[in-house]
Structure 1
């Protein structure tokens, strides 16, 4: 079971020495204009790195995935993640998790020098925690941690979807604890790399939806095991994974 690490209680003060109530700074009048381009204490988001690492460790323990850790940007990083690097913000560390089932979406959980956490999903999805980080947006640390967890588990549980169509372009949808949300990027506004990535992924899946991640192989047991001394055929391995996915979906429906 995943357990969120305890978030460090960080305290910051304004130039007058008063504590800054992050998450509840601005009233009905809204934030001052200058705060939209200001981040006075980006280090307040550093505890999100611990959350990201705890999530990655939990996924590696729980699901049937290949895991690759890199310092800096992975050589095979999705184009959307490459574009996230801008100015002084760089990818410092990344964990790439690829489920051993072609219908399950891959995931990259990356730490940045801001500090923040960026999640690349499927073929072209990208979300960050915090979503912005400026003083005007005033994101609360606990809220950011919750959103990061909801995002990752939406992918793992097959609640993240993406598709390409000639008329609409790239459509991305996600269902989480917050409800449902969707976005569309028309063909003329999407990058060539994202368009090709989604189209290729869709062809490889024969148009199928992203499915929940399969559990670790020691949990993926078929009802009738093969005869002693005989290795499973590919069809039997696929059947084992499909049955495990069905068990996961039943658990989700009954949760």
Structure 2
């Protein structure tokens, strides 16, 4: 994505009840998070910049690749499971059917979900609780890499009786990630199985505009 640049976002300071600045991303140091922090979601507005990052990614993809862009709340149905906090959904479909489509779903949390290909949803942030101590910058790093890897043809999906599995990998093999889920509706698995068999589970790179 040659034209993509992360938006310039002013840092926002969050404070605890005593007025001290909360150093998200380094709250616990070498220690384990307090047990009660796993059930706490504080200052989730710190993830709001992810919406700007997602929009910048959408704009870059639309300007560089041969795609169809649809902006319709109903497209949130692409997600593997329903959400009740969706405020926007944008599907980007490459002109080449062997390249994986991406649907960006914006939530009021605020967060971004990206449905890639046929069977997997990527969550940004994955959790957002105080124990995880995520920052929007680190989450944006993951979203940018995931999206770019899909677009460059480094995305594989598998469907089987046990559920779905995916793998993302750089062209040079320097970085990869993978995962699987058994919590997939049977109808979605059955519908995706044939299409994934045709491409041997490996999505191709998106076609660029000429």
TM-score (norm 2): 0.90
Of 105, 108, 114, 2:109 maps to 114
What is residue 246 of structure 1 aligned with on the other side? none
Native 8 Å contact 1:170 1:198 kept in 2: no
- Mark the structure with the bigger radius of gyration: 1
Checking the alignment, whether the CA contact within 8 Å between 2:93 and 2:102 is kept in structure 1 is: yes
- Is this contact kept in 2: 1:25–1:138, CA < 8 A? yes
Corresponding position of 2:188: 194
Q: How far apart, CA to CA, are the structure 1 residues paired with 2:144 and 2:103?
A: 14
- Note the alpha carbon deviations across 1:136-168, whole angstroms, 9 max, x for none: 1000221111111001111111111102245x6
Change (3 A) 1:107 1:59: same
Aligned pairs for 1:39-118 (under 5 A) are 39-70=41-72, 72-74=73-75, 77-80=77-80, 83-86=81-84, 90-118=85-113
Q: Which has the higher contact order (CA 8 A, sep 6+)?
A: 2
Post-superposition shift, 1:9? 0.5
Contact 2:157–2:201 (8 Å) recurs in 1: no
Residue by residue over 1:88-121, the C-alpha shift from the partner in whole angstroms, topping out at 9 and shown as x without a partner, is xx11111100111110001001110100111000
Q: How does 1:127-142 map to 2 (within 5 A)?
A: 127-142=122-137
Tell me what 1:223 maps to.
none
The answer on whether the counterparts of 2:160 and 2:189 sit within 8 Å (CA) in structure 1 is no
Match of 2:37 among 35, 38, 46: 35
Partner of 2:202: 209
Q: Which residue does the alignment assign to 1:22? A: 24
Give every structure 1 segment of 4 or more consecutive aligned residues whose post-TM-superposition deviation is greater than 4 Å.
Answer: none
Distance in 2 (CA, whole Å) between partners of 1:57 and 1:64 is: 13
Gaps in structure 1 of 5+ consecutive residues = 220-255
Distance 1:48 1:210 in 2: 26
CA distance, structure 2, for counterparts of residue 54 and residue 181 of structure 1: 23
The structural deviation recorded for 1:181 is: 2.0
Whole-angstrom distance in 1 between the partners of 2:174 and 2:27: 23
Q: Return 5+ residue gaps in structure 2 as ranges.
A: none
- Equivalent-residue separation in structure 1 for 2:27 and 2:174 (angstroms): 23
